[in-house]
A and B are shown apart, each in its own frame.
Chain A
Amino acid sequence: MGDHHDTGRPVLSVRGLRVDYQLDPPVHAVRDLSLVLRRGEVLGVAGESGCGKSTLAYAVNRLLRPPAEVVGGSVVFHGPDGHDTDVLALTGEALRSFRWRRVAMVFQGAMNALNPVLTIHTQLTDVLAAHEPGSRRRDRARRCAELLSLVGVHPDRARSYPHELSGGMRQRVMIAMALALNPDVLVMDEPTTALDVVVQRDILRELGRLRERFGFALVLITHDLSLLLEISDRIAVMYAGRVVEEGTATRLLTAPRHPYTTGLLGSFPSLTGPRQDMRGIPGQPPDLTQALDHCAFHDRCPHRRDVCAHQRPPLGPAPAAGEHPTPGGGEHPTPGGGAHLVACHAWHPDRYGAPAPTALRHGTFRPTHTAEVVDP
């Protein structure tokens, strides 16, 4: 996105990425998606199941398997020395050494991410052996112990098998493994889904601490928007394979601009905020085999008007300070963050044919009685 005027140097740029699952008919899981990740920032990617979050994560590390296929766009890694790498063009040995050293990943569900038949030690040291072929066995063992103590796991546990560890410990081991090569980017796909909230909290605190120490950029992919709001610098909300809203966590919490974001915010209790009514978002995500030339959210949107069903809203700057009820924000870039972007017709009175609905401006999502457009 060219309209980010930011000081943090980018580490990963995704431009116009399109990923299809080559089924019959093809499923367009990621559609013309652009995102920039800056060094050291925490970027949250939120959205319902099936909106393309995980597909995006896999595409970035070239882990898509048939029938999934990147059909367009680019992923560029900006190295610490200023050298750019076209990730989608990497093959063989170059791809192998790019993985984990540059972008490490922790996958959905800590429970299955460790090989059940190998000890923790083996799984931690084989990544070192693969990337540092000249290293000595004794050095690798020492590094393994270091990494484990780094995440608060006793080094003796290296001799254990995954089934002998608790879920929280397994997740810590995964994080230790992810940090083994001191990567520039750490992508976590639903990192805490299988854990209870107390362990979740510990792990996230641990992650924050490690990030301060090592300075990696963190991409957190989850459907849990309330969790993202607490720890992310910036959040991208995905719907039907596209980013529909992107902005700093503060902006998204205080002044969400997309009806979908307000809906998501309304469906999760905040861990720290005041009590509020919780509402779901009625309806289903759209069929991803369709072209979706209109707003993909329109049939679930309480604010829909004619234009929403015929024209796709582009991702553009969210309305400035005067137009919304909370002070501050607008186009001013925040440290480590970017501009607030939204893809919704309601903020363009000329296209929408009416001023932005009050409920939307207040960031509330009332699926039934405040719907401002009657069904045709």
Chain B
Amino acid sequence: MRHLRRKLAFYLVALWAAVTVNFLLPRLMPGDPVDALLSRMQQTGGAVSPEARQALEVMLGSGGQENLAAQYLTYLGNLLRGDFGVSATYFPTPVSTVLTQSLPWTLVLVGLSTVVSFVLGVTLGALVGWRRGRWSDALVPATTFLAAVPYFWLALVLVFVFGATLGLFPLTGGYDYGLEVGFSGPFLASALHHGLLPAITIVLSSVGTWLLGMRNMTVSTMAEDYVLTAQAKGLRPRRVLVTYAARNAVIPSLASFAISLGFVVSGSIVTEAVFSYPGIGFTLLQAVQNNDYPLMQAVFLVITLAVLGANLLVDLLHAVIDPRTRQTGGR
């Protein structure tokens, strides 16, 4: 338990640091983002109320009536209430609404495909390492090739072949826009149909990295005395592979998995741009193109939170898989 408490304390400090940097960054930017924003908002949405201007100033730290400490407190208070201000791109929709609408799309699509890619890559990697010297070795160059091809190009080729030429998958979007968003059969089917091709491109382009890493670790783990002992013990090959070789070989991959889980939110930009997928990456792209500072700030915060959350998750998972990391915790 002490182990867990220490970890949680560390993550709280990291969270505080991230939130504070997020507060400071726009205030360090040259120029006045509020004025830039207001002119944009006026172009798109007409009149802007004085309250909106004040809210923006609190958020982005210009206007300069209050000192930095007071601004910081107001900013923290707004964060706790989930108030990120109003988006300029989707004026007058609040940023929090934009986020809640786009985040689930990214989490489900990119999160699921990252997990699928990891599980697939690690499983295949363990098998290829275990059966070294057979035909399955060919999987290594094949998947590494797919990983080396620039992602956007691979995605475009697949869109061209399966979307445009064969017509098997829709070209853009997250669902059929004629349908109501909700937990209805037709909507879920449509979302699945739209998500399948982007998911396949993500898995194809990332599975090679997992496979190669896991295969190499499996090969070196197999040379360990405990794997040899397990074989000499007459255990079933499946148990030797899973509990003795793979379980030890997967530990380094877990750390990389933590990092890639954290980048689920930010790493989806290209995917969502290619497929015009209504997720957080697409939103960030819109925000950047429109100088939408509140939205960017909120997206950055979400990315930071995702990295921290994923790291915490894997830290906990690590303790389950590798007893040596529990060492400091005591009992």
Interchain CB contact under 8 A, B225 and A96: no
Task: State the main secondary structure of chain B at its contact with A.
Answer: helix
Q: How far is the CA of A112 from the CA of B222 in the complex (A)?
A: 12
* Residue among B222, B232, B239 with max Cβ neighbours from chain A (10 Å): B232
CB distance from A55 to the nearest CB of B (A): 13
- Interface flags for A90-106 (1: CB within 8 Å of B; 0: not) read 00000111111100110
Q: Which parts of B225-261 form the interface with A (CB within 8 Å)?
A: 225-226, 228-236, 239, 243-244, 247-248
B327 at the binding interface (Cβ < 8 Å): yes
Q: Which residues of A contact B322 (CB under 8 A)?
A: 116-117
B64 at the binding interface (Cβ < 8 Å): no
CB distance from B220 to the nearest CB of A (A): 12
Q: Which residue of A lies closest to B224 (CB)?
A: A112
CB distance from A103 to the nearest CB of B (A): 8
B182 at the binding interface (Cβ < 8 Å): no
B81 at the binding interface (Cβ < 8 Å): no
B324 at the binding interface (Cβ < 8 Å): yes
Q: Which residue of A lies closest to B236 (CB)?
A: A130
Q: Which residues of A contact B225 (CB under 8 A)?
A: 107-109, 112-113
Interchain CB contact under 8 A, A126 and B235: yes
A211 at the binding interface (Cβ < 8 Å): no
B321 at the binding interface (Cβ < 8 Å): yes
Interchain CB contact under 8 A, B232 and A99: yes
Interchain CB contact under 8 A, B233 and A100: yes
CB distance from A53 to the nearest CB of B (A): 15
Q: Which residue of B lies closest to A105 (CB)?
A: B232
B178 at the binding interface (Cβ < 8 Å): no
Q: How far is the CA of A109 from the CA of B223 in the complex (A)?
A: 13
Q: Which residue of A lies closest to B244 (CB)?
A: A115
- Interface flags for A126-165 (1: CB within 8 Å of B; 0: not) read 1100110000000000000000000000000000010100
Q: How far is the CA of A174 from the CA of B225 in the complex (A)?
A: 12
Q: Which parts of A199-257 form the interface with B (CB within 8 Å)?
A: none
CB distance from B330 to the nearest CB of A (A): 12
Q: Which parts of A241-285 form the interface with B (CB within 8 Å)?
A: none
A66 at the binding interface (Cβ < 8 Å): yes
Q: How far is the CA of A322 from the CA of B289 in the complex (A)?
A: 102
B185 at the binding interface (Cβ < 8 Å): no
Q: Which parts of B244-289 form the interface with A (CB within 8 Å)?
A: 244, 247-248
Contact of B230 among A61, A108, A112, A115 (CB under 8 A): A115
Q: Which residues of B contact A163 (CB under 8 A)?
A: 323-324, 327
Q: Which residues of B contact A177 (CB under 8 A)?
A: 233
Q: How far is the CA of A212 from the CA of B261 in the complex (A)?
A: 58
A89 at the binding interface (Cβ < 8 Å): no
Contact of B228 among A104, A107, A131 (CB under 8 A): A107
Q: Which residues of B contact A118 (CB under 8 A)?
A: 243-244
Q: Count contacts on A: residues with CB < 8 A to the other chain.
A: 32
Interchain CB contact under 8 A, B235 and A127: yes
Q: How far is the CA of A96 from the CA of B234 in the complex (A)?
A: 4
Q: Which residues of A contact B235 (CB under 8 A)?
A: 96, 126-127, 130
B30 at the binding interface (Cβ < 8 Å): no
Q: Which residues of B contact A161 (CB under 8 A)?
A: 323-324
Q: How far is the CA of A105 from the CA of B226 in the complex (A)?
A: 11
Interchain CB contact under 8 A, B234 and A99: yes
Q: How far is the CA of A155 from the CA of B239 in the complex (A)?
A: 25
A63 at the binding interface (Cβ < 8 Å): yes
Q: Which residues of A contact B231 (CB under 8 A)?
A: 63, 99
Q: How far is the CA of A119 from the CA of B224 in the complex (A)?
A: 17
Q: Which residues of B contact A119 (CB under 8 A)?
A: 323
B133 at the binding interface (Cβ < 8 Å): yes
Interchain CB contact under 8 A, B232 and A117: no
Interchain CB contact under 8 A, A97 and B323: no
Q: Which parts of A172-200 form the interface with B (CB within 8 Å)?
A: 174, 177
Interchain CB contact under 8 A, B226 and A99: no
- Interface flags for B310-331 (1: CB within 8 Å of A; 0: not) read 0000000000011110010000
Q: How far is the CA of A160 from the CA of B231 in the complex (A)?
A: 22
Q: How far is the CA of A95 from the CA of B235 in the complex (A)?
A: 10
Q: Which parts of A58-99 form the interface with B (CB within 8 Å)?
A: 61, 63, 65-66, 95-99
Q: List 23 A-B contacts (CB under 8 A).
A: A61-B232, A63-B231, A63-B232, A96-B236, A100-B234, A107-B225, A107-B232, A113-B225, A113-B226, A115-B226, A115-B243, A115-B244, A115-B247, A116-B248, A116-B322, A117-B321, A117-B323, A126-B233, A130-B233, A130-B235, A131-B234, A163-B323, A163-B327
Additional 9 contacts, C-beta under 8 A, given A61-B232, A66-B132: A63-B228, A99-B234, A107-B232, A112-B224, A113-B229, A114-B226, A115-B248, A127-B235, A161-B323
Chain B residues proximal to chain A, CB less than 8 Å:
132-133, 222, 224-226, 228-236, 239, 243-244, 247-248, 321-324, 327
The 10 closest A-B pairs by CB, nearest first: A99-B234, A112-B225, A115-B226, A161-B323, A113-B225, A100-B234, A107-B225, A127-B233, A105-B232, A96-B234
